[in-house]
Amino acid sequence: MPLSSLRSYRQRYCHGAAALLMAMGMVCTPAQANEQLIYDVVEGFLLEQTAGESGEVSIEITPSPAAAMACQAPSAFLPGRGGKVSGRTSVGIRCPGDAPETRYFQAYVHINGQYPVVNRNIMPGDVIEEGDLDWQEGDLTRLSSRLITDASQLVGQVSQRRIAAGQPIQAGMVKAPVLIQRGAEVALLVRGNGFMISSSGQALNDAGLGENVRVRMPSGSIINGEAKREGIVEVH
């Protein structure tokens, strides 16, 4: 029996009602009970760490002989600096007591969810519309970390490259449509606490919605602002 299947069998076996196990002459050994406790702590910890994920989370723990050794009141932690938990990951288990020790276990965190794909070939310069998108479902941890999963971040964006039908879309494949043209005269709005000053200048770079714009003022000074609308740059 494969180790992963053996672990699943032991989990079901050790979770059974005690009376039924005794009637069947089956007893969960101390090593199996220790193993069950450790795996439950690892799985519970990883489920807590991924509680905010929009997809369905499942945990696959790599069996380890270290799990069978006794550990009183085990507590889990993420080695290193932590961060987003997905895909292959390590979990540390602290075992306190007279001889405290730390053990490490490997696991794979699967996140099954939906993500948008284009339903036609998109050419460079095409504006992506809502009707251009379909949804696929899969393990998001097997896809690029740059995958765009929110369709609202795609609708109205301009493709920077050819995107084949059925292809997932990653950050960098699309950009916001240009609102500010380099060299164009723009209105500059300076907002403060209870006041607003308007002026004009020349844009020194192209920019889409929310992107930074460098504006040369009539005095020659350069001010950085944010593209808000076509021809409008705002400074906070």
Q: H/E/C letters for each residue in 160-178?
A: CCCECCCCECECCCEECCE
Mapped onto helix, strand or coil, the DSSP state of residue 123 is: coil
Q: What's the domain count of the chain? A: 3
Which amino acid does the sequence have at 130? Answer: E
Q: Residues 106, 7: one domain? A: yes
Q: Are residues 159 and 211 in the same domain?
A: no
Higher per-residue confidence, 22 vs 27:
27
Confidence of residue 55 (pLDDT cuts 50, 70, 90): confident
Cβ atoms of 180 and 206 closer than 8 Å: yes
Model confidence at 210: pLDDT above 50: yes
12-23 burial string, b = 16+ CB within 10 Å, else e? eebeeeeeeeee
Q: For residue 208, name the pLDDT band (cuts at 50, 70, 90).
A: confident
Q: Which domain holds residue 197?
A: 178-235
Q: Is the pLDDT of residue 105 over 80?
A: yes
189 in the same domain as 149: no
Same domain, 167 and 208: no
Query: Helices then strands (H, E): number in the chain?
Result: 3, 14
User: Mean pLDDT across the chain, nearest whole number?
Assistant: 86
| Letter string b/e over residues 78-91, b meaning 16 or more CB atoms within 10 A of that residue's CB | eeeeeeebbeebeb
Quick one: 141 and 59 in the same domain? no
Residue 132 and residue 66 share a domain: no
Neighbours of 146 (CB within 10 A): 11
Out of 17-31, 36-50, 85-99, give the one with best mean pLDDT.
36-50
How much is the pTM? 0.64
Q: Residue 204 class from Cβ within 10 Å (0-12 exposed, 13-18 middle, 19+ buried)?
A: middle
Domain termination residue (choose one: 95, 111, 127): 111
Contact residues for 122 (Cβ-Cβ < 8 A; gap 6+): 128, 132, 159, 162, 163
**Same-domain status, 27 and 106:** yes
Whether 131 and 80 share a structural domain: no
The C-alpha atoms of residue 177 and residue 82 are separated, in whole angstroms, by 36
CATH number at residue 201: 2.30.30.760
Q: Are residues 105 and 117 in the same domain?
A: no
Note whether 28 and 93 are same-domain residues: yes
DSSP code at position 127: B
CATH of the domain at 123: 3.90.1210.10
Looking at the fold, whether 35 and 87 belong to one and the same domain comes out as yes
Which stretch of DSSP H or E encloses residue 1? none
Last residue of a domain, one of 141, 158, 175: 175
Cα–Cα distance measured from residue 39 to residue 106, given in angstroms and rounded to the nearest whole number: 11
* Single residue among 126, 147, 175 that ends a domain in this structure: 175
CB atoms near residue 67 (< 10 Å): 24
CA angle 207, 209, 212 (to 5 degrees): 50
DSSP one-letter code for 16: S
pLDDT of residue 26: 55
C-alpha closest to that of 32 among 63, 62, 1: 63
Distance CA 114, CA 116 (A): 7
Same domain, 219 and 200: yes
